[in-house]
Structure 1
Amino acid sequence: MLSLLALAGIAVAVFVGFNIGGSSTGVAFGPAVGSRLVRKTTAGALFVGFAFLGAWTVGRNVIATMSSSIVPAAQFTPATSVAVLFFTGAALFISNLYGVPASTSMTAVGAIVGLGLASGTLNQALMFVIVSAWIVAPLVSFAIGLVIGRYVYPYLDRYVAFTTFDLHFIQLDRSGTIPRPYVNPDASPQDVVGSLSVVVIACYMAFSAGASNAANAVAPLVGAGGPLTVDQGVLLAVAAFALGSFTIARRTLETVGNDITELPILASLIVSLVGGTVITVLSYLGIPASLAVSTTSAIIGLGWGRASRAATLAEFATPTTDRPETDVATGALVTSRAEDAPAGPTIGDLARDETPAEEPSDLPDVPDIGAEGPADLDERSLFDPTAAKRIVTMWVLTPALAVTASYPVFTVLL
């Protein structure tokens, strides 16, 4: 028989997983739903399937780290497990309240650190590795985004197009006894390739989310003395994800933009691929890290790289007074095509049901580095500095608050 505290821990774990599923489904499948490639129900089903795959495979390594390596598994009594999950859920509530993508992983680790400090069992060497990864991972995401934005993105943006269909990409012929799916007849071969790319990368993001987030929901309940085995923990986490994916995620799928960026579909695919890959690698290594932090860092790097094309590296290194100063800021990726060539639809366009400008039949060549003027930052800015400051503050503040708030609680419990 499970104790009341164990049942309370499972209930809190379901609440945490419910919120993770609701928010992560929108992040992963917002572009695919907004561009009418998949329906909300299909997006929820795909998210749950690939999140389960990520949690069942790579996610086990993160669960092992958070359930027995940061502190010994014996420290997770029913009372301390409920407390850790409570602080994790509180972080989700605060981030949702302020509309800021605070890191659930970092906050969950912060609560476990509070437990380790109170019990004197914290694995300091492992925490040094984890904190180092929290610093390096965003820098790697930023650097990859910067290189792609400066040297690759303009060429991809010139040749890769995405269409917002008036009807869903996959239609159902209900004339017969059994409905038969068929591809939207308005889709060109280029649209088919681009659309499949959007859906495939959304599934990859779901895999990464499952790999990194399953531990946040169930790690304290798994291991020696815990009420759940690893397999049961993964199944519980994914079931909670599913509950959020098919309920509150319907709203997040509609709100596919945010106050950081008006992000084109192409750019969203790049940052999803970069952020998802960084987190998948860390999850494979058993290091809990934030998908939101890595993805946002890639967004910033991509914008900086795009804007930096206005000058060569030599011009940056040797500024002179006889030429105008180049303003290298996170610029508007929506203006990233060559002059008079509109960019593809942005996530904000999709959310507002706006139709992007038609692409001209003859696209001009992409200007060389140093020959392109600074992007027009006033029309649609990629990056809102005020929002960025709030986000970075929350990234640092939430795990720090988790440590300082949990330490006295665990001191009393222990």
Structure 2
Amino acid sequence: MVMWVTWIAIGIALFFAANIGASGAAASMGVAYGSGAVSRKMAALSLVAVGVFLGAYLGGGEVVKTLGSGIIPPKLLTVELVIIILLSATLTLFGANLLGIPLSTSEVTVGAVVGVGIAYETVFVQKLLVIVSFWVILPVVAFTLAWGMGHVIRRLERRDARWRGEGEGWWTKGLMWLVLAAGFTEAFSAGMNNVANAVGPLVGAGLLGTEEGIFWGGLFVALGALVLGGKVLETNGKKITRMSLLQGTAISGTGGTLVIISSLYGIPVPLTQITTTAILGMGSAEHGFRLWQKGIVLKILKVWLVSPLLSMTVSFTLVKLFIEPAPYLIVVMVAVLISLIGLKSLYDTEQAERRAMNEEGAGI
């Protein structure tokens, strides 16, 4: 029975790893694919797969240690709790994908681990605060760097059309190689940081050794990118074709570099949000700060808050349902949830009535 439960935990982790590759990792080559630096989809995905695997194998160990033993005591991690952590992260991401809401894999996984720690009233708060501070600081750094580079790139491209990648000469080919290198760097960083989300709890529970977990986690993230990442690559490639080669290189390079630095310190960070804020910084340098009026920043803040809190709630609830039954607590949580939904519904109804009154002139 124990052996079967262990295999279930490993199976969920590897399935999670494949989904990480299909969603987050595959996006790293979007700029190169969209710009035509690499024209074949399978070639782009193959580069992603190689970059992700190398990143995990060569530098994923520190983040694995953090998720396996840096947030809650490793002695707390039984096979059942590992399954709950992985299920909470997977179900949260799956539900968000169905709703079309982009959540951060790293934040969801950290939230699931913290939820288990709260259920047993033992969390390494100091380490958690360091992680959360990176989540706040890195997007700001990414925005600032991209905004500064955006101004430099804008001047270069205005002075000389070759910087925009126009023409077929060696200069354009050099820019395309730069884009490829930046995309590979981003894929490498995804391997260093995100593979730990799938295998960190397994390693912490002693179900897999660190090197074994990194190898299999990296392999399945790479396979996920290669087999399932085509649609994400296509979508991101089309979205980013408006960017010049230099802009794409700066964004991918900034995101990849910041994530690699975080990985060396063992900090799981949200690559997607870092890249998004870098794109926002580049856009602000090009078009001014009117981009901020589109609610992008508010969306980023919502994702930043919802990702860890939702998975934390799910894992805490699963522990209190199946491992440490606390029916009264579950009743209170359900009551609070229903109350919040009811309040939101009442607020929306009130706002709709006020708008209707103002449109009819009765409210003036």
Give the letter for the 1:402 counterpart. S
Tell me which residue corresponds to 2:139: 138
Tell me which residue corresponds to 1:285: 265
Tell me which residue corresponds to 1:50: 51
**Distance change in 2, residues 1:266/1:95 (3 Å):** farther
**Distance change in 2, residues 1:200/1:75 (3 Å):** same
Q: Tell me, yes or no, if the aligned pair for 1:260 and 1:384 is still in contact at 8 Å.
A: no
Q: Tell me, yes or no, if the aligned pair for 1:259 and 1:387 is still in contact at 8 Å.
A: no
CA deviation after TM superposition for structure 1 residue 301, in Å: 1.8
| Alpha-carbon displacement from aligned partner over 1:9-52 (angstroms, at most 9, x marks no partner) | 11111211111111234311123223343322222222122212
Tell me which residue corresponds to 1:252: 232
Q: Which moved more, 1:25-34 or 1:209-218?
A: 25-34
Give the letter for the 2:246 counterpart. L
Within 5 A, what are the aligned runs for 1:53-72?
53-72=54-73
Q: Among residues 279, 282, 289, which one is paired with 1:299 in the alignment?
A: 279
| Alpha-carbon displacement from aligned partner over 1:257-298 (angstroms, at most 9, x marks no partner) | 577995444322211111111111111111111101111111
Q: How many Å separate the matches in 2 of 1:93 and 1:79?
A: 20
Q: How many aligned positions are there?
A: 319
Tell me which residue corresponds to 1:37: 37
Q: How many Å separate the matches in 2 of 1:251 and 1:293?
A: 20
| Alpha-carbon displacement from aligned partner over 1:223-253 (angstroms, at most 9, x marks no partner) | 3x42211111111112211221222212222
CA deviation after TM superposition for structure 1 residue 60, in Å: 0.7
Within 5 A, what are the aligned runs for 1:72-221?
72-150=73-151, 152-158=152-158, 159=160, 160-162=163-165, 187-221=168-202
**Distance change in 2, residues 1:295/1:117 (3 Å):** same
Unaligned runs of 5+ in 1: 164-185, 309-327, 331-382
Q: Tell me, yes or no, if the aligned pair for 2:52 and 2:189 is still in contact at 8 Å.
A: yes
Q: Tell me, yes or no, if the aligned pair for 1:143 and 1:301 is still in contact at 8 Å.
A: yes
Q: TM-score, normalised by structure 2?
A: 0.81
Tell me which residue corresponds to 1:22: 22
Q: How many Å separate the matches in 2 of 1:260 and 1:387?
A: 16
Q: How many Å separate the matches in 2 of 1:402 and 1:274?
A: 28
Q: How many Å separate the matches in 1 of 2:140 and 2:31?
A: 25
The structure whose residues are more often helix, as a share, is: 2
Q: How many Å separate the matches in 2 of 1:149 and 1:187?
A: 24
**Distance change in 2, residues 1:144/1:387 (3 Å):** closer
CA deviation after TM superposition for structure 1 residue 2, in Å: 6.5
Q: How many Å separate the matches in 2 of 1:187 and 1:277?
A: 29
| Alpha-carbon displacement from aligned partner over 1:40-96 (angstroms, at most 9, x marks no partner) | 222222212221221123221100001011111122211111111112212332343
**Distance change in 2, residues 1:195/1:228 (3 Å):** same
Q: How many Å separate the matches in 2 of 1:161 and 1:204?
A: 22
Q: Which moved more, 1:246-255 or 1:62-71?
A: 246-255
Give the letter for the 1:81 counterpart. V
Q: How many Å separate the matches in 1 of 2:253 and 2:219?
A: 25
CA deviation after TM superposition for structure 1 residue 400, in Å: 0.8
Give the letter for the 1:31 counterpart. V
Higher RCO (CA-CA < 8 Å; seq separation 6+): 2
Q: How many Å separate the matches in 1 of 2:259 and 2:187?
A: 11
What SS does structure 1 have at the residue aligned with 2:191?
helix
**Distance change in 2, residues 1:197/1:95 (3 Å):** farther
Q: Tell me, yes or no, if the aligned pair for 1:153 and 1:306 is still in contact at 8 Å.
A: no
What SS does structure 2 have at the residue aligned with 1:288?
coil
Q: Tell me, yes or no, if the aligned pair for 2:31 and 2:237 is still in contact at 8 Å.
A: no
Q: Tell me, yes or no, if the aligned pair for 2:34 and 2:236 is still in contact at 8 Å.
A: yes
CA deviation after TM superposition for structure 1 residue 391, in Å: 4.3
**Distance change in 2, residues 1:243/1:5 (3 Å):** same
Q: Among residues 329, 349, 352, which one is paired with 2:290 in the alignment?
A: 329
Tell me which residue corresponds to 2:306: 397
1:267 and 2:247 matched: yes
What SS does structure 2 have at the residue aligned with 1:255?
helix
Give the letter for the 2:272 counterpart. A
Q: Tell me, yes or no, if the aligned pair for 2:34 and 2:238 is still in contact at 8 Å.
A: no
Unaligned runs of 5+ in 2: 325-364
CA deviation after TM superposition for structure 1 residue 403, in Å: 1.4
Q: Which moved more, 1:12-21 or 1:93-102?
A: 93-102
Q: How many Å separate the matches in 1 of 2:308 and 2:62?
A: 21
Q: Tell me, yes or no, if the aligned pair for 1:303 and 1:329 is still in contact at 8 Å.
A: no
Q: TM-score, normalised by structure 1?
A: 0.71
Tell me which residue corresponds to 2:335: none
